[in-house]
Amino acid sequence: MRNIIYWILSAFLTLAIALASLRYITNFWLLSFIYSFQIHLGVLFVAASLVILAVRRHAYGFVLLLASLVLTTHGVVMLREFGEENRGVRAPLFRLMSFNVAIDNWKNSTAIADMVIASNADVVNLMEAKPLTFHLQRLYKVYPYHIGCDHGKDSCDTLLLSKRPFVTRQVASIGSLRKDRLVVASVEFGGQTVNLVSAHLTKPYFDDYQAEELGDLGKALGAISGPLVLSGDFNSSSIAPGIQAFLRKQQLKTVAPEPATWPIAAGRFGIAIDHIFARAPLHLTSLKRLDDNLGSNHSGLIAEFVLDKDGEP
């Protein structure tokens, strides 16, 4: 009986490991969200392998344990691939907040507006900002420069707020599923123009839409030179194959490990699907999760940035 249980458990774990390992062969959209959980799955597989070995000590059980450890370790390595080096203690050039409000989060809209105003951020990137429609004038008193939400609540999706005037500004679409989820702007801080890009990507298991959006986003970023910040809701971890390829090509970095932003119930044991990235000569010096998600199904982020010394004015 123990032998039968051993081989049944081994068969299920073998199948699970094989599915998680398909990332090394193909970036199939139906499994792309699973790839974001590689570290979590690896830990689960390690635990399952130990259970199997407790049932029966057999060579194949050790093979499963080794495969599980390799998946987990490689996940951690990938998570740190895009991490910034410590830039030392320097005064930040500016502060940016990024937060997916959640499009139906009306009851917390006042608290969210209060939080934005109290954040002391120089730039605020808000997605699914429709619930803030009735608080816009209050926000504009603190952030007099804005992009988005100009034509009523039905057009209020991405909202970019700034305490400083925009040097350039553009709203565009990425992919073919949703409109106006890309904002490209620039703001001058301390005599240096910084490019600000906000993007909100589709969930990766919605066919190939996210891959299409990443292609369009890559073209937009490829046309930008100079210091650059990319923030938004990617609906994928930075270890997902499509996101990894995009970050490498665009030479983007963040703080590793990134704070988990989803699911809310998992707290710091979740995954980071909301991101803030920078491209040299701009660098992140801090990246923190907001203390309260205020009814959203995402946690917000706030980051500080510095320029390389030879890039300072």
Q: What is the pLDDT of residue 312?
A: 47
Domain range for 57 is: 2-80
In whole angstroms, give the CA distance from residue 120 to residue 142.
10
In terms of domains, do 304 and 181 share one? yes
* Residue 196 forms part of a structural domain: yes
In terms of domains, do 104 and 155 share one? yes
Domain stops at, among 56, 80, 104: 80
Do 275 and 238 touch, CB atoms closer than 8 A? yes
Beta-carbon contacts of 99 under 8 Å, excluding residues fewer than 6 positions away, are 112, 116, 124, 125, 126, 127, 274, 290, 296, 298, 300, 301
CB environment 56-85: b (16+ within 10 A), e (fewer)? eeeeebeebbebbeebbebbeebbeebebe
In whole angstroms, give the CA distance from residue 121 to residue 110.
18
End-to-end CA distance of the chain: 74
Strand partners, 46: none
In terms of domains, do 47 and 193 share one? no
* Residue 88 forms part of a structural domain: no
Q: What is the pLDDT of residue 89?
A: 66
Q: What is the pLDDT of residue 311?
A: 47
Sign of the C-alpha dihedral computed for residues 212, 216, 219 and 225 taken in this order? negative
* Residue 87 forms part of a structural domain: no
In terms of domains, do 294 and 208 share one? yes
Closest C-alpha among 254, 212, 264, 206 to residue 230: 254
Domain stops at, among 51, 80, 109: 80
In whole angstroms, give the CA distance from residue 298 to residue 228.
24
In terms of domains, do 139 and 234 share one? yes
In terms of domains, do 112 and 259 share one? yes
Q: What is the pLDDT of residue 33?
A: 86
In terms of domains, do 58 and 154 share one? no
Beta-carbon contacts of 13 under 8 Å, excluding residues fewer than 6 positions away, are 45, 48, 49, 52, 64
Q: Domain containing 200 — which CATH number? A: 3.60.10.10
Do 184 and 225 touch, CB atoms closer than 8 A? no
How many structural domains are present in the chain?
2
Q: What is the pLDDT of residue 86?
A: 67
Q: What is the pLDDT of residue 88?
A: 61
Q: What is the pLDDT of residue 29?
A: 82
Phi/psi for 192 (5° steps) reads: -115, 125
In terms of domains, do 212 and 167 share one? yes
Threshold 0.75, pTM exceeds? yes
Beta-carbon contacts of 201 under 8 Å, excluding residues fewer than 6 positions away, are 174, 181, 210, 213, 214, 217, 232, 233, 234, 235, 236
In terms of domains, do 63 and 112 share one? no
Profile the chain (313 residues) by mean pLDDT over runs of 10 residues.
91 97 89 92 98 95 98 95 77 95 97 97 98 96 95 84 97 92 96 96 91 97 96 96 96 95 95 97 96 97 88 45
